[in-house]
A and B are shown apart, each in its own frame.
Chain A
Amino acid sequence: EIVMTQSPLSLPVTPGEPASISCKSSQSLLHTNGYNYLSWYLQKPGQSPHLLIYFGSSRASGVPDRFSGSGSGTDFTLKISRVEAEDVGVYYCMQARQTSITFGQGTRLDIK
Chain B
Amino acid sequence: QLHLVQSGAEVKKPGSSVKVSCKASGGPFSSSGFTWVRQAPGQGLEWMGGIIPLLGTTNYAQRFQGRVTITADESTTTVYMELSSLRSDDTAVYYCARAGLVDREYVWFETWGQGTLVTVSS
Cβ of B66 under 8 Å from chain A: no
Given contacts A41-B109, A48-B112, 19 further A-B contacts (CB under 8 A): A37-B107, A39-B107, A41-B45, A48-B113, A48-B114, A49-B37, A54-B110, A55-B107, A60-B108, A92-B44, A92-B45, A94-B45, A94-B108, A96-B106, A99-B59, A99-B105, A100-B61, A101-B35, A103-B45
Contact of A100 with B114 at beta-carbon distance under 8 Å, contacts A35-B102, A49-B45, A92-B45 already known: no
Size range of the interface on B?
Answer: 20 to 34
A residues contacting B by CB (< 8 A) are 1, 33, 35, 37, 39, 41, 43, 48-51, 54-55, 60, 90, 92, 94, 96, 99-106
Question: Which residue of the partner chain B has the closest CB to A62?
Answer: B1
A-B contact pairs, 25 of them (CB 8 A): A1-B62, A39-B107, A43-B45, A48-B113, A48-B114, A49-B37, A49-B45, A49-B95, A49-B109, A49-B112, A50-B112, A51-B109, A54-B110, A55-B108, A60-B110, A94-B47, A94-B109, A96-B105, A100-B62, A101-B47, A102-B47, A103-B44, A103-B46, A104-B44, A106-B45
For the complex, what is the distance from the CA of A1 to the CA of B62, rounded to whole Å? 10
**A48 lies within 8 A of B44 (CB):** no
From residue A72, how far is it (CB to closest CB) to chain B in Å? 15
For the complex, what is the distance from the CA of A43 to the CA of B45, rounded to whole Å? 10
Cβ of B53 under 8 Å from chain A: no
